[in-house]
């Protein structure tokens, strides 16, 4: 599977996915500070699952989940 992990998600998740031999593009590594639209475009381009803590990605008018494999929104406070 392919994943795009937004820069607001713990890098530990990136490491865990890579340990499981998943293909991961970590926004924090190569695309730090890019817009939400640019992050979405990366996931769309790579037909990837987008993992984020950014609530804006739950707005289907701006970011239709049908244009990417899936959007996984991680709410604040559930990563302990």
Percent of the chain with pLDDT over 90: 79
Q: Hey, is 61 helix, strand or coil? A: coil
pTM of whole model > 0.85?
yes
DSSP assignment of 35-52 equals -HHHHHHHHHHTT-EEEE
- Assess whether pLDDT exceeds 60 at residue 79: no
Contact, 55 vs 73, CB < 8 A? Answer: yes
pLDDT, tens digit (0-9, with 9 covering 90-100), for 36-50: 999 999 999 999 999
Residue 23 has phi, psi (to 5 degrees) of: -85, 120
Every domain of the chain and the residues it spans: 2-73
């Amino acid at each position: 599977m392919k994943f795009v992990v937004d820069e607001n998600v713990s890098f530990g998740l990136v490491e865990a996915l890579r340990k499981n031999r998943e293909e991961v593009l970590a926004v924090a590594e190569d695309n730090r500070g890019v817009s939400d639209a640019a992050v979405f475009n990366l996931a769309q381009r790579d037909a990837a699952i987008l993992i984020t803590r950014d609530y804006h990605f739950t707005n289907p008018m701006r970011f239709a989940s049908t244009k990417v494999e899936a959007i996984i929104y991680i709410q604040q406070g559930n990563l302990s």
